[in-house]
């Protein structure tokens, strides 16, 4: 199967290739992600219990307090951060966090085309995301 290529808006420069972790719901980094282990802890969230470490974290947008930006930064300092962030709509809290943590970020991407487990190549400099669908076993 050929990779799917999507074009988006560049937010924080960088590139990576990693497995996707996808949420249909917004994510709050303050109170929604445990800064001690990088796991999503928001009660009732579809990704509750999943770890963001080394994933391409895909979600519609962020929500919550501006302290969430610092949580993203602290995840990087503890080597627990996502490799990149893909949003449908960039939220200022997530953007500031990605900037200070130097996490590649792109938005205006149709995240409905990405599934958890897909291999995703993010190249923010080119403004593209390539998705290789995971193989069904």
User: What SS3 class is residue 106?
Assistant: strand
Exactly one of 23, 28, 65, 74 is catalytic; name it.
65
Active site residue 65: yes
**In angstroms, how far is CA 49 from the centroid of its own chain?**
16
**At a CB cut-off of 8 Å and minimum separation 6, what does 128 contact?**
5, 6, 7, 8
> Do residues 44 and 26 make contact, with C-beta atoms less than 8 angstroms apart?
no
Kindly list the catalytic residues. 65
């Amino acid at each position: 199967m050929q990779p799917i290529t999507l074009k988006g808006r560049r937010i924080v420069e960088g590139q990576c290739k990693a497995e996707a972790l996808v949420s249909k719901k917004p994510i709050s980094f303050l109170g929604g992600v445990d800064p001690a282990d990088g796991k999503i802890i928001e009660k009732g969230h579809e990704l509750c219990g999943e770890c963001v470490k080394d994933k391409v974290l895909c979600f519609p947008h962020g929500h919550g307090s501006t302290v969430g930006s610092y949580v993203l930064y602290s995840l990087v300092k503890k080597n627990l951060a996502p490799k990149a962030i893909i949003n449908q709509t960039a939220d200022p809290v997530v953007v500031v966090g990605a900037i200070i943590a130097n996490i590649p970020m792109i938005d205006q991407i149709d995240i409905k085309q990405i599934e958890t487990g897909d291999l995703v190549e993010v190249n923010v400099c080119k403004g593209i995301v390539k998705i290789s669908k995971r193989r069904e076993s």
